[in-house]
Structure 1
Amino acid sequence: MVGVGPWPGGEDAWPRVAGPGGEPVLDPRYDPELLAGGDTRNVVDAYRYWTVEAVVADMDRRRAQRPDVALFVAVKNWAHDLNIGSVVRTANAFNAAGVRIVGRRRWNRRGAMVTDRYLHVEHDPDVASIASWAAGEGLPLVGIDNVPGSRPLEGYALPARCVLLLGQESAGLSSEAQAACDVVLHVTQHGSTRSLNAAAAAAIAMWAWSSRAQDPGQTSAMRDA
């Protein structure tokens, strides 16, 4: 079985906190069904048995401790394939502040592996809308695509607060999207293929941002807890 079984020791050993009158009550972060039946979700050990709401709240709390750091990921709604779900799953892994779906509202969630439940996912009808939102939040719009005039991602000082804008799998960033970006970056390649899979390029870009902006000690603590 993937994950963990029921909480060791049974209900009498469930994690508790002091209630209003000082009596022990179940810690509200924990889900009684998961405690009783086991937790097979793909979550780090620190979040085992927690409710979805508690996990989201804790991730929000951790980001709030670093108001100078915030990553948003905006993706053009590719042709209903799994790439967009893969991007959402990676955004969750790096605790992105949010994902914004640009274009079609409906998207294929299979590749997200339920991680969209732990993220703030918003919708923008078009490029002009995401550009306006980013400007209003004071967030640079950073395009990711290997188009003429783009700059290498390697060595570029990604802002600690920014939006990564990812294009369509087949067509990449449109000319309108490129014009809306503060900068467009590409992942340098050394093989024969013209381009990386869009979800792979997104993962590399998010890792590059995280390696510069995030606290690696906090990340390791969450993974190992």
Structure 2
Amino acid sequence: MKVDNLQQGFFGIGIQNGKTPENLGVLWRSAQNMGASFIFTIGNRYAKQACDTHKAVGAMPYFHYESFDDFYTHLPKGAMLVGVELDEKAEPLESFEHPRRCVYLLGAEDHGLSKQAVEKSHFLVKFKSTLSLNVSVAGSIIMYDRSAKNIK
């Protein structure tokens, strides 16, 4: 079988100013299981997580960015930024068509994404919920939805 590199996709997933270190480890473990190409943080630094039992950070590229501007200037060429945010402008996940090449950005449970991140996102997506979800749960749902819709 010949692989068509122009049709191949990739995705990365990360957190802006994550609130608790435990959420990082859980999200990284899910990212490794769901086929993420890379993981990242913006703001708060990653520290080794006991809940990252599969050692995802050693198995895939991990990037840390000091600021949103630093992150945004390093988006992979051709990748769309998908902000996950409970916002009136966000599209429901059920009808969202995931870009083949994208980066998913989640915010902390207590503050969500920064205003700048919301404004710079190519797409905003949300869940059917009135309250915010745990960031690692939200990220896992996003990745599962991508997989269920057969985006490769």
**Is TM (by shorter chain) over 0.5?**
yes
Structure number with the bigger relative contact order (C-alpha 8 A, sep ≥ 6) is 2
Pair 1:205-2:142 in alignment: yes
Pair 1:122-2:63 in alignment: yes
Runs of 4+ in 1 over 3 A off after TM superposition: none
Shift of 1:165: 0.4
Q: CA, structure 1 residues 151+120, in 2 after alignment: closer, same or farther (shift >3 Å)? A: same
What amino acid does structure 2 have at the position aligned with 1:127? F
Structure 1: distance between partners of 2:13 and 2:4: 18
Q: Which has the larger radius of gyration?
A: 1
Corresponding residue of 2:24: 84
What is the aligned counterpart of 2:121 among 181, 198, 217? 181
Note the alpha carbon deviations across 1:88-141, whole angstroms, 9 max, x for none: 11110012110011113333522222222211111111111222211x521100
SS at match of 2:15: strand
Note the alpha carbon deviations across 1:165-189, whole angstroms, 9 max, x for none: 0111211111111011111100113
Shift of 1:157: 0.7
Structure 1 unaligned residues grouped into runs of 5+: 1-64, 215-225
Q: Is the 8 A contact 2:19 2:110 kept in 1?
A: no
Structure 2 unaligned residues grouped into runs of 5+: none
SS at match of 1:112: coil
The structure whose residues are more often helix, as a share, is 1
Shift of 1:66: 6.5
Q: Is the 8 A contact 2:109 2:133 kept in 1?
A: no
What amino acid does structure 2 have at the position aligned with 1:154? E
Structure 2: distance between partners of 1:77 and 1:211: 28
The structure whose residues are more often strand, as a share, is 2
Pair 1:196-2:137 in alignment: no
Question: What percent of counterpart residues are identical?
Answer: 25
Corresponding residue of 1:16: none
